[in-house]
């Protein structure tokens, strides 16, 4: 089973069938919170649906076309992050993520994206990684901005949420930019 240790608090773990109930409960407990920006939330409303989608995700991982992993914070499943739509010809992919309401404010997504970028660039050899965020989704936008992604522009009406279209910012990170960045510090500096 694929696992990626982010630091001493966070581990990214490939979803397996035994995660279905935990994942269902996570979404169920955070349905209102996630629904604001996740168009799939209303359609995923039974344990059976999570049991059914995990084999699809495992197949994507086996085919090297994507990966969906759980974010474990201090051993508890608190969210998900994925490397989606891997395009091997152009060596690019996109990252998507979500986090439970109670786990916000600990830098979990920032640290997880950082680790996934290292994996994408250094292990997989990708050249470009994108993140797309709703223009009004300030919390999600903070992640690529904090990690010095390049904001390339706006995709007008790029996603439909519950019958309404909204604009998306598109951010990118290139392998050469990631290699030349100032090293990321995971612990606060003390004076």
C-alpha span between 5 and 11 (Å, rounded)? 4
Give me the pLDDT at residue 185, please: 46
- Domain-located, residue 185: no
- Domain-located, residue 187: no
- Domain-located, residue 122: yes
For the chain, the domain total comes to 1
Provide the edge-to-edge strand list for the sheet that holds 150-161.
3-5, 10-14, 67-73, 76-87, 92-99, 128-134, 164-174, 150-161
Question: Taking 50 as the threshold, does the pLDDT of residue 187 lie above it?
Answer: no
Q: What is the DSSP letter of 182?
A: P
C-alpha span between 182 and 167 (Å, rounded)? 31
- Domain-located, residue 188: no
- Quickly state the pLDDT bin for 134 (edges 50, 70, 90): very high
- Domain-located, residue 89: yes
Cβ neighbours of residue 160 closer than 8 Å, sequence gap 6 or more: 39, 166
Detail the DSSP E strand segments found in 16-75: 67-73
CATH number for position 77: 3.40.630.30
Give residue-wise pLDDT tens across range 116-127: 999 999 999 999
Give me the pLDDT at residue 53, please: 93
- Domain-located, residue 127: yes
pTM of the model: 0.90
Q: What domain range includes position 59?
A: 3-179
What length does the chain have?
A: 191
- Among 27-36, 93-102, 116-125, 165-174, whose mean pLDDT is lowest? 27-36
């Amino acid at each position: 089973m694929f696992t990626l240790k982010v630091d001493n608090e966070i581990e990214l773990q490939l979803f397996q069938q035994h995660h279905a109930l935990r994942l269902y409960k996570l979404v169920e407990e955070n349905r209102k919170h996630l629904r604001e920006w996740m168009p799939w939330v209303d359609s995923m409303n039974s344990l059976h649906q999570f049991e059914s989608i995990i084999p699809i995700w495992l197949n994507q991982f086996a085919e090297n076309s994507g990966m969906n992993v759980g974010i474990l914070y201090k051993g508890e499943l608190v969210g998900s992050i994925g490397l989606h739509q891997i395009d091997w010809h152009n060596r690019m992919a996109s990252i998507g993520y979500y986090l439970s309401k109670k786990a916000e404010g600990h830098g979990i997504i920032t640290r997880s994206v950082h680790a996934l970028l290292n994996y994408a660039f250094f292990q997989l050899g990708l050249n470009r990684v994108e993140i797309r965020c709703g223009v009004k989704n300030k919390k999600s936008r903070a992640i690529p901005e904090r990690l010095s992604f390049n904001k390339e522009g706006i995709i007008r009406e790029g996603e439909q949420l519950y019958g309404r279209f909204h604009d998306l910012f598109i951010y990118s990170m290139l392998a050469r930019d990631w290699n030349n960045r100032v090293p990321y510090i995971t612990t606060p500096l003390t004076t």
